[in-house]
Structure 1
Amino acid sequence: MKTVEIADARVAYRVDGAGPGLVLVHGTGGNGETNWGHLVPELARHWTVVRPDYSGSGETRDTGGTLSVQHLAAEVLAAAEAAGATPFDLVGFSLGAAVAMQIAADHPHLVRRVVLLGAFLDGADPRQQMQFGLWNDLIRTDREAMARLVLLTGFSPVFLSSLGHGGISEAAAAIAAETDWAGIARQVDLDLSVDVAEAARRMDKPVLVIGRTHDHMVPPDEARSVAAAIPGARYVDLPTSHLAAIEQPGAFTELLREFLLEEQH
């Protein structure tokens, strides 16, 4: 684990592999290891893989203030630059996809190509507001129930059932025990207010938006709206859940590799 100081934060990040830079930006409540660690052996064969923990997650420490997409983007950029991985390909998941869009719009000279998974443009949709509001309520009042809700809506029914009673109980207990609850609450507040529609319209890099047909956290229509807002973006569906990179790592990695490497020829 490495760190870099920026403004009011000490940003933690991991670096693996060799080759062109590839920056992976995690989602709400995740970190660079829980969202991406299982993919690193394959990705590090082609890229220098940088996995920052932005504020509210992992080993990054800050003063605990209100988060913004711009603030998180600055943290991710600081990690990429400290790792010597610029310019880079950029992958963002969920809230991390919003951060990736902001980076690509504001710093096009540092970004080669962008992959967005579980992406949404803003948190204004009434269903999204209800969902994130419920998350905040459960974070305050019943974290074990919140852990079960993450599993219930984060994975597809078939995948979750395949874990069995014991596997589900173990996964829920791990989430309840290991989550940075104060950090995720700050990130959920950002989910409620985020708006990167203007940034999406300014993106001028090759972009792949991956929708998930069984996503109950960020429905596929949200991903399609992201693809429609970004000039020239390509859209593809995966038959999986919001946590696609965990549920179908092989299929996700194959899409990622094909899209990023094809542009080099």
Structure 2
Amino acid sequence: MHFLRLGEPGVEIPAVSDGTTTWDLRPLTADIDGPFLAADGLARAEAAAAAGELPELDPTGLRIGAPIARPQAVICIGMNYAAHARESGSEPPSDIVVFYKHPNTVVGPYDDILLPPGSTTTDWEVELAAVIGTRARYLDSPEEALAHVAGFAVANDVSEREYQLQRSLGQWSKGKSFETFNPLGPWLVPTAQVGDGSGLSIRSRVNGERRQESSTSDLIFGVAEIVHRLSRFMVLEPGDLINTGTPEGVGLSGRFPYLAAGDIVELGIEGMGEHRSVVRPAS
């Protein structure tokens, strides 16, 4: 089973699908959000679908939105693949590098990526995203951390490198928080189906040409370790989104051109679906 939200922005319908049949979750919840996740909503929804208690929904022609409602926090881990750290000009970190994106960066996996006015250094970053299911604070170990993760999704941590690096004064969020800079989806896949998130192939393409090809097993800090460490710095709330880092193969490496209007960015993670975004200028 995987969870998704269908329809136009702001009026998406929460749904669950087994890949063949899609069921409407509105008898259970108004949205796939923090309160729903915290109330064991994913398990309850799967049980209701299996018992025939939910109406079927025809997804034909419906936009696929982000699989969770706008989170209250988008927390990102930087330089979490050793090869990407090196192509960025840094050594792999000894602790998690943390930065934030504005929650309104989150859009659907097929929505357009909007280039900021005058931008010539907008970059792609395919990432495994974890969604918090229950509050996590001062966790004692990584072993208990995974129980606080509701599920996983594919994210694109789009980045404007000039604002991130040259104009940041040390704070990356300037280059990370433009509108549409966090396509997410198409599904939220429950943790029970993914495990700890390791061992998954992860990839990106621009205009059909390979950019990134790696495995989530190459994460320096795995999902459980990330959640554990974050909980020592902040309280993680249900519905919070964590982007866990990107492999090598981005424009910042100097090996590929940055994004331009008309480019098509495709990315995906094994078993978790794919994105296809068209780049166009922001009006």
TM-score normalized with structure 1 length: 0.30
Of Structure 1 and Structure 2, the greater strand share is in 2
Of Structure 1 and Structure 2, the greater helix share is in 1
Larger RCO of the pair (alpha carbons < 8 Å, separation 6+): 2
